[in-house]
């Protein structure tokens, strides 16, 4: 027996498919949208007409013109920048960034600054975020702000409301979403930064980063964004994916999380720095190490044998065993190495591959492909923007005006 589909539900789904196709393809023709969605030309024509009338889409001749047999070029569709805007907030170690992004994905205004996240009291840390958001909203030219997404290093709750724990601050359980919503009256989600890196990669390179892939952040900390069957993996109680705090060596080197033997305690910037200086594994992690210092350390490691090269070797080994354990649970997948540590991937890759090959998940280690993205901040910002914009696409603009038509199993414009 066939199950009927509510008319409004089908209409919402089809509108969402059209908006998503326009966002992904950047100024596609109606024919290209039909090819991407599988919807009929008549359905796409009706939906696009509605979206144009609602101020969500616009016709443009700046896209790639596709000639018909009669020689008439097809008109492209584009997202209207002024239809909506979102705010992205990136809170990292000693760093805060806020940007306003329009509906077409272009940055309207942005601000970033260094601040001492490790020493600021909780109310001052929150106050810095509120003040920067307030300034950027004031510079946004009266745009219609419909969503905010805050990305933070560390663990967030499954409901995407609270920063549960972060190595960038001694404070835990900070309800950023409730605070920001109470101040500005705009819906807010709180996300793990590595998850937002994975979100950005899906949009930047959908051919490589499609069904299954992994984004590993190699920075002061080690993080992971994991996508399985096209969906971002998260825990039932938290954002999940704490790859850096998987145990590499029980009772091993001291990690900044306070435990011992984590992958991060061997592969984070502070761990590589500690090992290169031949300091004790019991030494407290250095609070912050500049990118210039890490680049200089990598240059020394390339130039000669010594503790610097051994430190990078140990880092590669720790990451490799971690990935091998992960690949024992899931099939090997493309990996993106992101962050300042990725700039030294030439030093890390050989021991990393050797370690994977020694695990149960390393049977096909030679086929695992790695890509390098040395700067994580643009990816985190982009991931936040795309998460916020797609929430608007799916939850608000896809709904449109409600209809009273009975349920039926046909395409709905």
Write down the pLDDT at residue 1: 42
Residue 18: phi and psi, rounded to 5, are -70, -45
**Among 76, 14, 21, 16, which Cα is nearest to 40's?**
14
Asked if residue 87 lies in contact with residue 109, where contact means CB atoms within 8 angstroms, the answer is: no
Write down the pLDDT at residue 404: 37
Give me the residues of the chain with pLDDT under 50, please: 1-4, 62-70, 402-412
Write down the pLDDT at residue 351: 97
Write down the pLDDT at residue 84: 97
The DSSP output letter for 174 is B
Write down the pLDDT at residue 412: 44
Ordered alpha helix ranges (H), 368-413: 376-392
Per-residue pLDDT of 212-268, as tens digits, reads 999 999 999 999 999 999 999 988 778 877 899 999 999 999 999 999 999 999 999
Per-residue pLDDT of 163-194, as tens digits, reads 999 989 999 999 999 999 999 999 999 999 99
Write down the pLDDT at residue 364: 67
Write down the pLDDT at residue 72: 53
pTM: 0.90
């Amino acid at each position: 027996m066939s199950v009927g589909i509510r008319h409004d539900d089908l209409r919402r789904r089809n509108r969402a498919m059209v908006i998503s196709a326009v966002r992904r393809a950047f100024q596609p023709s109606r024919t290209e949208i039909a090819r991407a969605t599988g919807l009929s030309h008549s359905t796409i024509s009706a939906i696009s007409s509605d979206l144009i009338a609602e101020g969500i889409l616009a016709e443009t001749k700046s896209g790639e013109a596709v000639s018909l047999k009669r020689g008439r070029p097809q008109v492209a569709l584009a997202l209207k920048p002024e239809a909506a805007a979102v705010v992205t907030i990136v809170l990292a170690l000693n760093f805060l960034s806020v940007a306003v992004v329009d509906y077409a994905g272009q940055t309207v205004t942005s601000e970033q600054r260094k601040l001492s996240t490790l020493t600021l009291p909780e109310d001052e840390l929150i106050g810095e975020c509120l003040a920067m958001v307030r300034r950027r909203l004031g510079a946004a030219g009266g745009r219609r702000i419909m969503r905010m997404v805050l990305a933070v290093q560390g663990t967030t709750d499954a409901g995407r409301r609270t920063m549960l724990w972060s190595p960038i601050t001694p404070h835990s359980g900070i309800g950023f979403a409730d605070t920001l919503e109470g101040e500005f009256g705009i819906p807010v989600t709180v996300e793990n930064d590595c998850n937002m890196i994975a979100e950005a990669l899906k949009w930047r390179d959908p051919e490589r980063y499609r069904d299954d892939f992994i984004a590993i952040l190699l920075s002061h900390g080690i993080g992971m964004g994991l996508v399985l069957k096209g969906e971002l993996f998260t825990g039932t109680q938290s954002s999940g994916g704490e790859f850096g705090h998987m145990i590499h060596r029980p009772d091993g080197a001291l990690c900044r999380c306070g435990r011992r033997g984590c992958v991060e305690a061997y592969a984070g910037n502070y761990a590589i720095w500690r090992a290169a200086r031949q300091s004790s594994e019991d030494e407290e992690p250095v609070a912050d190490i500049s990118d210039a210092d890490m680049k200089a350390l990598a240059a020394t490691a390339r130039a000669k044998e010594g503790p610097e090269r051994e430190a990078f070797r140990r880092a590669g080994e720790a990451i490799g065993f971690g990935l091998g354990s992960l690949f024992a649970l899931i099939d090997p997948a493309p990996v993106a190495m992101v962050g300042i540590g990725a700039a030294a991937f030439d030093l890390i890759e050989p021991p990393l591959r050797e370690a994977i090959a020694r695990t149960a998940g390393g049977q096909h280690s030679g086929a695992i492909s790695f890509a390098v993205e040395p700067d994580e901040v643009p990816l985190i910002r982009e991931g936040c923007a795309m998460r916020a914009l797609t929430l608007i696409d799916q939850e608000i603009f896809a709904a449109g005006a409600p209809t009273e038509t009975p349920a039926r199993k046909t395409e709905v414009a």
